[in-house]
Amino acid sequence: MVPLKFYLITDTHYFAPDLDAFGDAYEEFMDGEQKCFAETAAIDKAAFEWLENADDADIVLIAGDLSFNGEKKSNEAFSGLLHDFKEKSGKRIFAVTAGHDFNDHPFAFNESGRLEPEGTGFSELLGYYSDFGYKDAVAFNEKHLSYVAELSEDVRLLVICNDIEGKKHIAYDDEFLGWIEEQAKKARAGGKMMIAMEHYPVLPGQPILALIGDARQAEAQKLIETLADNGVHLIFTGHMHNQSINMTQTAKGNRFYDVCTGSAIGWPAFMRRVTIQDEETVFVESVPVPDFDWDKKGLTGEEYLKAQFDRLIRTLIERMRTDPERFMRKVNIKPTPLLQKVFPVLGKKLSKMTVGGFARLFLVSADPQIRKDPFVEFAVSFVRSVFEGNQPYVEGTPGGDTLLKVFKRIGRFVKTLKGSQGETLDFYETMKHTVGNYGIDDYKAVLKLK
């Protein structure tokens, strides 16, 4: 087969510039956000200008959450940006929509507080994005806004969406899984390689994310087996705004890779450059989203996006102390009277604690190199690394050895965890592989599909 190269970008979350995003209520909202809001049009413009000039590939994939939160004006404007990109560059775009692209109650902010601009219905999405994969598809599933496209004479792209009219993030039923299997078999019968794209990760980006129901495709194992056992060994995803590459194997011995990519408009902000060398070998590289035109207070684009991520983590720690109910809602903990008393005390201690003091809470010692470091800064760093990928807190490093001691101590009392899809997880191994990457490089990898 002839090698094929393309770029992938995801979670563009475009917010139309003529909608409002400022004021006190806006700033309070942004205290709890990983991604940018007002800046998104500027960031996306810079990214697509860069892609326009990337002359080593003429295909761009977009893995969902195209608009910020389903504002009609945002979908109109982002669709316009994509049409301009196609016209200027001559490149082909293949997109999938996702839950943020349709909404009856999107929001904006100005000096008067929270606003509610006009939203987009699910049935309207095809009207905005039909020119980006759907219209020229060789197979189309209207119910799921899913399709099959020819990337080249040798490679087909299966684009699947877990939204339907009136419902978001659903498990795929037997009828739709049957449609997927049919498309995979047709590709094989035609001597074509098939790869897939969906907004939601199919494998947890990091092991700890298996605990969060919204962090991956519902009933993911069914989809993995349907794809991998029918010759589709690779899927590109987004949604969690994290960089990760993970692999699993089905009971029949077939490999399956999930390449999840960070959001364009929130740290870690990267695109993927993908080269399909042949049916067995795929090269994945990562390209930083370029700097963008905005008042960034003297920061680079990377520093600016990273500062917003850190703002979220620091705010969470602060709200543990000052607003425990809001903190618990943000991290999906059910508020109870006891926890509302415990978290303020814990938050106050953590805000003043060193890494050594944190370790002593669990009757272990911290590595001398980091013992006096502020715990909040340490926490911000290792939480950020979970989303960045290639997590550095492995055995043999000061931070890794300290965290692993803590996890071993907790593991005496908490042996297992229950994943959101019913699987049993070993506590220590889950935490060890969440803070340290012992597997595939999340930024640059050679994937062997068979």
Does residue 441 belong to any structural domain of this protein? no
Q: 185 and 321: one domain?
A: no
Domain boundary among 235, 269, 293: 293
- 114-151 pLDDT, tens digit each: 999 999 999 999 999 999 999 999 999 999 999 999 99
Stretch 181-196: mean pLDDT, rounded?
98
Q: What is the distance between the alpha carbons of residues 107 and 424, in angstroms, rounded to a whole number?
A: 38
Confidence of residue 404 (pLDDT cuts 50, 70, 90): very high
pLDDT at residue number 331: 79
Q: What is the distance between the alpha carbons of residues 104 and 119, in angstroms, rounded to a whole number?
A: 5
Question: How distant, in Å, are the alpha carbons of 175, 363, 401, 436 from that of 371?
Answer: 56, 14, 12, 19
Does residue 330 belong to any structural domain of this protein? yes
Does residue 70 belong to any structural domain of this protein? yes
Stretch 348-371: mean pLDDT, rounded?
95
DSSP-based three-state secondary structure for 161:
coil
- Statement: residue 380 has pLDDT above 80: yes
Q: What CATH number has the domain bearing residue 256?
A: 3.60.21.10
- As a whole-number percent, the residues of the chain with pLDDT over 90 amount to 95
Stretch 35-42: mean pLDDT, rounded?
98
Confidence of residue 236 (pLDDT cuts 50, 70, 90): very high
- As a whole-number percent, the residues of the chain with pLDDT over 70 amount to 100
Structure tokens at 156: 């087909």
Cβ-proximal residues to 377 (8 Å cutoff; 6+ apart), any chain: none
Residue span of the structural domain in which 216 resides: 4-293
- Statement: residue 332 has pLDDT above 80: no
The pTM (predicted TM-score) of the whole model is 0.96
pLDDT at residue number 279: 96
Domains held by the chain: number: 2
Does residue 81 belong to any structural domain of this protein? yes
pLDDT at residue number 430: 98
Stretch 247-269: mean pLDDT, rounded?
98
Q: 274 and 363: one domain?
A: no
pLDDT at residue number 253: 97
Q: 121 and 98: one domain?
A: yes
Does residue 442 belong to any structural domain of this protein? no
Average pLDDT, the chain: 96
Q: Give one word for 191, left, alpha or beta, with left for phi > 0 and alpha for psi -120 to 50.
A: left
Stretch 211-218: mean pLDDT, rounded?
95
Residues in the chain: 450
- 54-112 pLDDT, tens digit each: 999 999 999 999 999 999 999 999 999 999 999 999 999 999 999 999 999 999 999 99
- Statement: residue 281 has pLDDT above 90: yes
pLDDT at residue number 387: 98
Domain boundary among 262, 293, 324: 293
Stretch 306-312: mean pLDDT, rounded?
96
Q: Which of 403, 380, 444, 344 is nearest to 34 (CA)?
A: 380
